[in-house]
Amino acid sequence: MSKKLKKSLWLIVAAGLLFVLSWLPVLKDVKVGLLIISYLIVGWEIIQKALRNILRGHVFDENFLMSLATFGAWYLGEYAEAVAVMLFFQVGEFFQKYAVNRSRQSISDLMDIRPDYANVLRQNKIVKTSPEDVKIGEIIVIKAGEKIPLDGLVIKGSASLNTSALTGESLPQDISKGDEVLSGCINLNGVIEVKTTKEYGASTVAKILDLVENASSQKAELENFITRFAKWYTPIVVILALIIAFVPPLLGFDTFREWSYRAITFLVISCPCALVISIPLSFFGGIGAASKCGVLVKGGNYLEALAKVHTAVFDKTGTLTKGSFIISEISPQGISKKSLLETAAYVESMSSHPVALAIKAAWKDKLDLKRISKIKEVAGKGIMAELDGKKVAAGNLKMLQDFGISNITFPKDKTAVYIVIDGKYRGFIAVEDEVKTTAIPLSHNLKQQGIKQTVMLTGDNKRIASRVGRLLKIDKIFAELLPADKLAKIEQLMQTKPQTSTLLFVGDGINDAPSLARSDIGIAMGGIGSDAALEAADVVIMTDEPSKIIDAVKIARGTILIAQENIVFAIGVKLLVLVLGALGLASIWAAVFADVGVSVIAILNAARALRLYKK
């Protein structure tokens, strides 16, 4: 508990003790003295706030209502009631502050990823300095137990990293020379040297912290409704209280004192605390719950939009598939499988294409590059070279046509590299982009959450797109699309969905930036590796797991349900007790307990949003 909260608690306890002592059989002056001291202990801060707000032009708020109600009670000689109003109002405020503090703590846990220092290697000496003072290209040393202060590449050493602060996953990540590391991760063992690739302000940790710190600035429609509601509600209540206090006695209905008491009761009941704090607290808790599972939501408005998704649109490569190829079939003709793979590995030895990388990874033996020469890349077709004096080529069907080769078998629904040696066709090696295992049940799980339609957009060919789409049970598949074509499809889908629902698009945050921006909710996958993801998307999933989308939707819907429960409960109870107070059927005591009770229950209910995600 923070010092501020502890101070509030002690003030409440002290005032409460004095309030209880005033009920003992003591002299009237002593009783009044105890009540005045008790009132000032818990009420002085509220009165100060009310006066400050009046001077700023913000008259009608809960501080003004409480001050006005208690002044009225003092005027009528209802001293105990005046103290009770302030005391229980402060109890409600304490629960509010405690709940907000817990919500903030859940998000500020992310702030633990902020590095305190960086060990920089300068002139063969390790210098401890602020991460902001480290330049791109400098070497930093990270020891076991230390946070990685800046993004960079490992140039020496190996270690296991705890990435849970960024991804929500507890499984350590092993890294070694040549691997990229991200700021905010914790080195669990070993010593590594890292060459920085970004300054601190552009690093992953800085961008995430900025995103989280500003998440609450984007308000949901429900939050805006409460703001508008409170703006009109409070002055209307004050006017009604004045009417209750003065009009009936002027018309001869009972005494001024009786109707003033009813007006004060009316004011106490009318305090909108339960709504004003519990709704933002619900969204704040939802954002905090999402951050626990590695999903960063940029504001309550996006959380609200996630709860109303009708259509889920996915990019294929890197989102539903791993974006890295593996060899799925080797089909030789006239030579052995080993010879075919060896030939392909040599021809592709200088290429950095994903297919070439898959072939080289499959060939385990070391390549003797003296055996190959005259490597030439033919744009849009493949690569030609000489291997052990033989002319070899590895490429696509267009390359085969150049050699006059036809009537061959080719793999269905896969990407293939065809091998030609001295003008003769020698077979093919088929590769495929692996589907992420967590993507397989995705469409089914989304349908269970009430999402009506799943769509896949890809620049890949129709055969491969159909294979992936069928495996994942995607409703609609659009293939061979350029980024502009994807955007056009998004536009079409936006027009066909119901007006009150939303469309989400999930991509990698780089080439899909236009689609991310155009959709109702843009979700970037694997945000820890993409600068564009943190900027273009509304929601960032910090891992490469599509299943996190289900978690995000569940959290969003749970948050909206909690907020709606609070609105219905708070308004319903208040309207009932307001009517009873105006009719003289509810005392100030009943008003106090009704107001504080509603506030505490609504705040505790809002705090449930923090527990919407469970590992």
Q: Which residues are catalytic?
A: 315
Residue 471: CB partners within 8 Å, gap ≥ 6?
435, 440
Q: Which helix (H) or strand (E) holds 95?
A: helix 79-108
Q: How far separated are the first and last CA of the chain, in Å rounded?
A: 25
CA-to-CA distance for 185 and 576, rounded, in angstroms? Answer: 53
Interatomic CA distance for residues 486 and 559, integer angstroms: 31
Segment (H or E) for 492: helix 483-496
Cα 227 to the center of its chain, rounded Å: 23
Q: How many CA atoms lie within 13 A of 579 on its CB side?
A: 5
Spatial distance between the Cα atoms of 421 and 407, rounded to a whole number of angstroms: 17
431 Cα distance to chain centroid:
35
Tokens matching residue 37: 């001291």
C-beta of residue 289 within 8 angstroms of C-beta of residue 612: yes
Tokens encoding 404: 């006059």
In angstroms, the Cα distances linking 183 to 50, 167, 196 are 45, 12, 10
Q: How far apart are CA 46 and CA 66, in angstroms?
A: 8
| Contacts with 497 (C-beta within 8 Å, 6 or more apart), sequence order | 310, 311, 453, 503
- Opening angle at CA 583, ends 582 and 585, nearest 5: 105
Collapsing DSSP states into helix, strand and coil, what is residue 326? Answer: strand
The whole-angstrom separation of Cα 391 and Cα 589 is: 97
> Could you tell me which residues are beta bridge partners of residue 122?
125
Helices then strands (H, E): number in the chain? 20, 22
